[in-house]
Amino acid sequence: MHIPDFLFGYSSLGVPLGILFWIIALVFVVLAIKWARNNLDESKIPILAVIAAGIFALQAFNLPTGFGVSGHLVGGALAAIVLGSPFAAVFVLAIVLVIQALVFGDGGVLALGANIINMGVIAGFVGFYSFSALKSRVGVPISAAVAGWLACVIAASVCAVEIAIIGAVPIGVGLPTMFIYHALIGIIEAIITGIVVVLIFNVRPELTGNTEKKAMPVNKFLAIGLVIALIVGGCAVFLASGDPDGLDSTLLVSGGAKDIFAPAHGEIEEAHDPVGWESPMPDYVLGGEDAGAVGGLIALVIGIFAALVVILLAARIVYAASGRKSS
């Protein structure tokens, strides 16, 4: 669902609209920083970092969904549910998306605003409020899974509207195609969100308001979370699907290079990229295509540690600026 910059080259309105999306995203990022100042403490910061590293790793792991399409976790619902606020999703996803765009070329620089809106704001708010509405009726696992599915599908639908507005894909093609593909990809989101939420709530029960059950020590949680993220990242290098994701598949359908329910038989025709950013490790590989699996492993390790460290630093800076002390 990472929108690339070349999609803003299909229309003269592309760049102004990209800037508008940036402005909207920045409003929510400012609100997310305010949330962090008021709510983060020494016990929550490592949880925030583990979620960021995990989301980075899982977003690199595309799984096949059928019809020649693959998909990965968005993570907005997961972050919002675990940390109890949609602004947590904005905080985490904004940093993860910046790293992905600047370092790995996954999503564009001009497109960062739209991508933060979709995967941070929309997915975070839909996921959090869906979970909140359902958990007393159907329990945590099912409500988290449903929230993850809804967050994925609605964020994808908003993405379809955005790429129609910038003139990249007609709404009559983009909206139903993105919906169909992400209804399938959302199953992956639902399963992962449901499982991870339950696991984290079990080892860190204070996140649910349960202060009687003993929680896993913060350092142990951080270490285990990092190891799991690295394992997932390693699996992504060797096991990830090579099929195009939901957005790329929609672009292929729009360009006549793919039928909705069949594998692609052509390539995406890219418009002029108005930014032309060249990332140092495109496609999550260090050293180019010739580097093979080793280059992929190194790049993903760098990315996972970057997400972890940048979130830790950003959260600690915001927390220190708040002047509060952990109890």
Q: What percent of the chain has pLDDT over 70?
A: 99
CA distance 120 to 27: 12
- What is the reported pLDDT for 42? 87
Q: Could you give the C-alpha distances from 260 to 32, 72, 153, 173, 265, in angstroms and in order?
A: 37, 19, 17, 10, 11
- What is the reported pLDDT for 78? 97
CA distance 6 to 282: 15
DSSP for 248-271 reads: HHHHHHHTTSB-TTS-B-S-----
pLDDT greater at residue 186 or residue 237: 186
Q: Could you give the C-alpha distances from 302 to 54, 198, 227, 296, 305, in angstroms and in order?
A: 13, 28, 14, 10, 5
Q: Could you give the C-alpha distances from 66 to 142, 235, 246, in angstroms and in order?
A: 24, 20, 11
The count of other CB atoms within 10 Å of the CB of residue 300 is 27
- Residue 195 pLDDT greater than 80, yes or no: yes
The count of other CB atoms within 10 Å of the CB of residue 27 is 12
Model-wide pTM > 0.75: yes
pLDDT band at 291 (very low <50, low <70, confident <90, very high): confident
DSSP for 32-87 reads: HHHHHHHH--TTHHHHHHHHHHHHHHHHT--EEEETTEEE----HHHHHHHHTSHH
- What is the reported pLDDT for 325? 65
CA distance 171 to 37: 39
For residue 162, the surrounding DSSP H or E stretch is helix 140-165
> Which phi and psi angles does 240 have, rounded to 5°?
-60, 145
For residue 89, the surrounding DSSP H or E stretch is helix 86-104
- Residue 46 pLDDT greater than 90, yes or no: yes
Question: What secondary structure letter does DSSP report for 148?
Answer: H
CA distance 161 to 118: 11
Mean pLDDT of the chain: 95
Q: What percent of the chain has pLDDT over 90?
A: 90
CA distance 125 to 151: 8
Sign of CA dihedral 314, 57, 192, 224: negative
- What is the reported pLDDT for 285? 93
Among the listed residues 104, 72, 103, the one whose alpha carbon sits nearest the alpha carbon of residue 240: 72
Question: What secondary structure letter does DSSP report for 214?
Answer: P
| Per-residue exposure over 44-53, b if at least 16 CB sit within 10 Å of its own CB, e if not | bbbbbbbbbb
Residue 204 is which amino acid? R
Average pLDDT of span 37-55: 93
Token representation of residue 200: 């984290």
Packing angle, helices 246-254 and 171-203, rounded to 10: 170
Task: For 113-147, write each residue's pLDDT tens digit.
Answer: 999 999 999 999 999 999 999 999 999 999 999 99
Question: What secondary structure letter does DSSP report for 107?
Answer: S
Token representation of residue 311: 């979130």
